[in-house]
Structure 1
Amino acid sequence: MAKETTDIFVNDPLALRALAHPIRLALLEALAAEETATATRCAELTGESVASCSYHLRILARHGFIEEAASPGREKPWRRTHLRYGFPRVAASPEQESATLAFAEVYVRQETERLLAWHRAMPGEPEEWQEATATIGSTLWLTSEEAHDLRGELSTLVKRYFPRTADPALRPPGARTVRFFAATSVPPSPPAPASDVSSPEPL
């Protein structure tokens, strides 16, 4: 099966829980960068042991996230079945809700660690790359429709660069892997103010 560039929607709770592991997410990233890679190569890219990579690769394959790639030798290379995945925003069941939360906790924690690692390494990077990256945060007053539109605009913005992931020939000279992570969230509604009950007038 050729690697597809379209999104696949993951809503099976067992598959979502299979992704809720930092090593498996790292393996998927390694396979996106290398297109095909053996457990040995994945170990080099992730810093994990070959045995650990083999174990987690088999779990990813069991749930359809990766598959074996053709190889003329004895090595067993793997490749992703899809480059990108979509996830449910509104859970259809308690099991799906729990699995989605488990995945979100691992994913957001990994992205936070990645961002902190960049800030630690940034002083040693070329000045043009230090100036090119940014961490942006804003508090906005939006309706749900406006928040939905903002999500769509961000998605459209980054999709223009998606073809370069699948086709290295499209990458211009000097291009590097740049991680884009964006999130919007809504804080819990504040408690309603206590009723303003006037004190009874004295008799």
Structure 2
Amino acid sequence: MTDTPITDPKALRALSHPFRWKLLELLTEQGAKTATQCSEVLGESVASCSYHLNMLAKYGFVTEVEGPGRQKPWQVVRRRQSISPDELDGEAAMAAEAAAMAYLDQEFERIRDRIRQREHMPAEWRDVVGTQGTVKFLTAEEAAELVADLQALLDKYDERRMNPELRPEGSRAVRLFLSHTVAPE
């Protein structure tokens, strides 16, 4: 598992398709799945799921693993998809921006869907679903330190993501979306 930034324009273009982000989310949250199982959960054809999983595999985002019988489930390879146009130019920078926009579109769709479903959740989970926003006045160094501190806090739970045996009983996939932007001067 590697967290190195993705710089290959072709790999970045592979992530510019919104459905591929749905597949990555599904495999991250629910573990290895076959194309048929992905189709059942996501409501897309088996052929489409298979095509998109193969595209993700071509660039090292997912891989096939041994399953029962002849089944070949897919699993996520990378813990994080690190995308930034920084230090990229031309085609690679445009591909990074397209992949980031596809990710944001999928993330915002997911947030809206889960907030709509909030009322159907058990009370103990309802209290942790929502959004919040804040503005802090920070220097660039303080902002970088804050982001690093938040990442360290989130990293505390990383091993559970890829290793289901480490998940405590009653745990569920809790999606945290952190955005940090700076106002223009």
TM-score, normalising length from structure 1? Answer: 0.83
Contact 2:84/2:97 (8 A) holds in 1: no
Structure-2 separation of matches of 1:131 and 1:70: 39
Structure-1 separation of matches of 2:131 and 2:31: 29
SS at match of 1:9: coil
Question: Which residue of the partner structure matches residue 184 of structure 1?
Answer: 180
Runs of 4+ in 1 over 6 A off after TM superposition: none
Structure-2 separation of matches of 1:72 and 1:172: 25
SS at match of 2:111: helix
Contact 2:32/2:73 (8 A) holds in 1: yes
Residue 136 of structure 2 is aligned to residue 144 of structure 1: no
Residue 162 of structure 2 is aligned to residue 166 of structure 1: yes
Structure-2 separation of matches of 1:58 and 1:187: 40
- Give how far 1:55 is off: 0.9
Give the alignment partner of residue 77 of structure 2, picking from 78, 81, 85. 81
Matches within 5 A, 1:1-203: 4=1, 6-71=2-67, 73-88=69-84, 90-189=86-185
TM-score, normalising length from structure 2? Answer: 0.90
- Give how far 1:93 is off: 0.9
Which blocks of at least 5 consecutive residues in structure 1 are unaligned? 190-203
Structure-2 separation of matches of 1:81 and 1:173: 24
Contact 2:115/2:129 (8 A) holds in 1: no
**What amino acid sits opposite 2:95 in the alignment?**
A
Contact 2:83/2:100 (8 A) holds in 1: no
Contact 1:39/1:50 (8 A) holds in 2: yes
Deviations 1:77-124 (A, max 9, x none): 222222222223513212222111111111111111111112211122
Contact 1:8/1:82 (8 A) holds in 2: no
| Percent identity over paired residues | 43
Q: Supply the RMSD in Å over aligned alpha carbons.
A: 1.8
Structure possessing the higher radius of gyration over alpha carbons: 1
Which blocks of at least 5 consecutive residues in structure 2 are unaligned? none
Contact 2:63/2:74 (8 A) holds in 1: yes
SS at match of 1:67: strand
Deviations 1:120-154 (A, max 9, x none): 11122222212123411112211111111111111
